[in-house]
Chains A and B, each alone.
Chain A
Amino acid sequence: EPEVTQTPSHQVTQMGQEVILRCVPISNHLYFYWYRQILGQKVEFLVSFYNNEISEKSEIFDDQFSVERPDGSNFTLKIRSTKLEDSAMYFCASSVLPPNTDTQYFGPGTRLTVL
C-alpha cells in the first residue's frame, strides 16, 4: 500500500541553524501538507500546498518557514533559523484532489530537537 515517507526520522540542531525536513508524498496525490505536534500538545496545521503554490497557511507558518516541491517526488519544509520552541514532531501529509472529500494520509513524522 502506498504511503507517505519522511526523512530524517530524528533531527537534532542548534538554535539559529537552518533545517530542511523532507517528505515523499503518495505518488498520485496533488495536495501536500505540513503539520506539527509539540510534545504533549495537539496536532497543528502549518501549511497546504497545491500546484506549486501555498494554498493555505496558519499563523504558525511565519517568514521563518518555507515549503518547496523541488522535483516530482519530494516536498520539503525549511525552517531558516530554528528556535527552541520549534522542537516538535513534524508530519507531512498528502491527498488526492477529489471532488468532495479530503482524506489526508500522514507520514510517520520527523522529530526535530532544537538545542
Chain B
Amino acid sequence: DAKTTQPTSMDCAEGRAANLPCNHSTISGNEYVYWYRQIHSQGPQYIIHGLKNNETNEMASLIITEDRKSSTLILPHATLRDTAVYYCIGVFTGRRALTFGSGTRLQVQP
C-alpha cells in the first residue's frame, strides 16, 4: 500500500470549509485513496474514496491531483461535530486490510 503523509493537526473555524491534504506519491495505478475519520475513541467512520476522478458525497468532496500523488478532503461547512482524526489510506483492489497511519487531528473552533 502507498505510504501516505498527512499534517499532524489542523484547525478550522466553524462554518468554513476544512481542506485536509494527503500526500501519496508512491501510489500505484490500481490503488484507491480512502478517507476515514475517528471521533474520540469511536469506531472509524468511512467518509469517501476515489481512484482518479474527483468524488463528492453528502459528507465531503475528494479532490485527487491528475498525477494522483496527492489528494485533498474537503468538508464544505465544518461543524463542531467534525472535530476528529482524519485518515487518508491507500487501498489496493482486493487487499482487505486497512493500514491506518497517525492521521490529521482536525479541531473545529467555534
List chain A positions with a Cβ less than 8 A from chain B: 4, 31, 33, 35, 37, 42-45, 48, 50, 55-56, 58, 89, 91, 93, 95, 100-109, 111
Contact = CB atoms under 8 A, between A and B. Distances in A.
Nearest to B99: A45
> From DSSP, what is the main secondary structure of chain B's interface residues?
loop
B49 A91 contact: no
Given A43-B38, A101-B32, A56 B97 contact: yes
B44 A55 contact: no
Interface string B52-80: 00000000000000000000000000000
Interface in B88-103: 91, 93-102
A106 B43 CA distance: 6
Given A106-B45, A108-B42, A48 B96 contact: yes
Nearest to A55: B96
Given A100-B93, A102-B91, A109-B42, A44 B49 contact: no
Contacts of A104: 46, 98
A10 B39 CA distance: 18
Contacts of B97: 33, 45, 48, 56, 58
Nearest to B32: A101
Contacts of B44: 43, 91, 93, 106
A42 B44 CA distance: 11
Contact of A56 (B32, B38, B91, B96): B96
Contacts of B42: 108-109
Given A42-B101, A43-B38, A44-B100, A102 B95 contact: yes
Nearest to A47: B97
A48 B95 CA distance: 10
